Structure 1
Amino acid sequence: MKATPTLVPPAERPLDSPWWLAPALFTVAAVLGGAWGYRSSPIVQGSAWLALPYVVPLALVAASWRPSAHRDTRTRGLALGGIGALIALIYAHLATFVLCAVALLLWAFQGGG
């Protein structure tokens, strides 16, 4: 005979931590960081295609929304979300620096004067 499993009342079950809290915070941080970074850099006067690389940090944050049962995949999701939020924050300033460096190099090495 099979033993009947005993049911534990909901009030006596241990509470699981809400898995969605960290990805939600990373999503808000990525959106606010990306908006602040984009608005505070001179790239905002540029063409709209310069905002296209924001897809990469948002994809990293979206990867953190996948619920996981294992501790290592949960840590990986938290790392991806944090990295995505950080990239969203610094992308516009990094792109401005790279564009200015390329313009300076092109100006310095142009031929003919």
Structure 2
Amino acid sequence: MNATSPPKPPAARLLAPPWWVAPAALTVTAALAGVWGYRSSPLADASAWLAMPYAVPAALVAASWRQPSHPHSKNRSLILGGVGALVALVYAHLATFTLYVVAFVLWAFQGGG
């Protein structure tokens, strides 16, 4: 005979949180981080094409919306979403720093007279 334990009643089982809660929170976090990072940098008055690289963090956060099939893929999607939120936060400041370095190098190596 095969001895198995009786199934637990539904109230005794722990309810797993819905899978979409973390990606939704990361989406809101990335959007707020992008807005805050962009508004706190001197790029806020620049042309709109400088906002194009925000597609990369948006793609990373969008990848976190894929429904996990394994526990490892859930962790991977949360890491992707977190990295996307971080990139959205630091992109404007990194772009400002890069533009300042390029301007300084062009100024330093320009030919005189």
Q: TM-score range by the shorter chain?
A: 0.7 to 0.9
Unaligned runs of 5+ in 2: 1-6
Q: CA RMSD in A?
A: 1.8
Q: Which amino acid aligns with 1:59?
A: A
Percent identity over paired residues: 64
How far did residue 49 of structure 1 move?
0.3
TM-score computed with the length of structure 2 as normaliser = 0.87
Partner of 1:66: 66
How far did residue 20 of structure 1 move?
1.0
TM-score computed with the length of structure 1 as normaliser = 0.87
Aligned length: 108
Q: Residues 86-97 of structure 1 correspond to what in structure 2 (within 5 A)?
A: 86-97=86-97
Partner of 1:34: 34
How far did residue 103 of structure 1 move?
0.3
Unaligned runs of 5+ in 1: 1-6
